[in-house]
Copies of this chain bind each other. A is one copy, B any other.
Amino acid sequence: MKIAVDAMGGDHGPKTVIPGVERARDQFPDIEFLLYGDQTKIQQVIKNPQRLTVIATSQVIQDDEEPVKAVRRKKDASMVVAAQAVKAGEADAIFSAGSTGALLAAGLFIIGRIKGIDRPGLTPTLPDFRTGGQFNILDIGANADSKPEYLYQFAILGNYYAKNMRGITHPRIALLNNGTEPDKGNALHKAAYQLIAAEPSLNFIGNIEARELLNGRADVIVTDGFTGNAALKSIEGTALSILSLLKRTILNGGVKSKIGGALLKSSLGGMREQFDYSRYGGAVLLGLKAPVVKTHGTATPAAVYYTISQIHAMLAKNVIDDVVTYFSQNQLTRAPQKKD
């Protein structure tokens, strides 16, 4: 399999991306990499050129650029040329640590949606703090405005992802809502509930409140991109705030507190590790014709490696193919309110 890598994405570009790629190359003998970006900078950090092909590009999309415009105008941007390679069948998947918006635009306009899917959903894998397991949540922000059909499609996409990637036979699918009763929600979520509940292939367990997100109640949580974005960022912000408050509390709590903190150091380090969900890989733009996977701009080489492992698994486990097959067989009957 061939993976197209936007080598310029992320805060440190090739310096972070290439070490992660090389680690993945050493781990997975069946991956070949196409590395897009500044040839000199990439070559400088490559330690072993085996199964790495560098393709020189002259432009880079920055985080603060308007994504759609940037993708349309910067035709020689590393991300854009990498996406073109996937479209042309020269690569099977694309990895980037660059702008999420630009990757979404490149995925939508260059690689394209799976037939039957209206919008892709941005899908991370997150830790469940109660049971030590994981869950997928989508969409966490690819779409600001959503229709009930999108959420229905996210449920199908998430179901295949959890089945194929995590080996769960009947993933528990839940809808993030403002209450647990079936009639809860705004107009969007009430309609989405009906569509998802009517789908016989899903193990739909109903609504879930945001308070339960980290409690392992569901394997896949479906949400619209605006709410999902707010929920995920609230979780991240709260976790960071509490850890930093904890640190201040220990440091300002006097000698007894400082000794206590020192004794707890390794346990707390383990706890911090549990928050670090980069080990589960990046966020997938599910619903596109190939794996399009994003890691944080601040990602470490290890996070890059985990994300490439995830892409490897997506290709090996035919996640996209199974979704394509499903929607080619079911799109007309399953989403009656869809217009196109």
Contacts and interface: CB of A to CB of B under 8 A. Distances in A.
Interface in A241-283: 241-246, 249-250, 253-254, 256-257, 259-264, 266-268, 270-271, 274
A267 B238 contact: no
A271 B256 contact: no
Interface in A129-185: 129-130, 141, 144-145, 176, 178, 184-185
A226 interface: yes
A303 to B, nearest CB: 18
B245 A233 contact: no
Given A271-B245, A274-B245, A211 B227 contact: no
B271 A176 contact: no
A176 B227 CA distance: 11
Contacts of A195: none
A213 B237 CA distance: 7
Interface of A: 129-130, 141, 144-145, 176, 178, 184-187, 189, 209-215, 223, 225-227, 229-246, 249-250, 253-254, 256-257, 259-264, 266-268, 270-271, 274
Contacts of A237: 210-215, 235
Copies of this chain, count: 2
15 contacts: A144-B178, A178-B225, A210-B237, A211-B234, A214-B237, A215-B237, A227-B227, A227-B230, A230-B231, A234-B234, A246-B246, A250-B264, A256-B263, A256-B264, A260-B260
Nearest to A251: B267
Nearest to A259: B263
Contacts of A244: 129-130
A241 B187 contact: no
A241 B215 contact: yes
B264 A236 contact: no
B257 A178 contact: no
Given A235-B235, A242-B242, 8 more contacts: A141-B178, A176-B230, A178-B225, A210-B234, A213-B237, A215-B241, A227-B230, A253-B270
A233 B211 contact: yes
A212 B237 CA distance: 6
The 6 closest A-B pairs by CB, nearest first: A260-B263, A253-B267, A210-B233, A260-B264, A234-B234, A211-B237
Contact of A214 (B129, B130, B241, B259): B241
Contacts of A266: 253, 257
A250 B212 CA distance: 23
Contacts of A235: 234-235, 237-238
Given A246-B271, A271-B249, A185 B144 contact: yes
Contact of A211 (B210, B236, B259): B236
B239 A210 contact: no
A134 to B, nearest CB: 14
Contacts of A239: 238, 242
B260 A262 contact: yes
**Which of A212, A225, A245, A263 has the most chain B CB atoms closer than 10 A to its own CB?**
A263
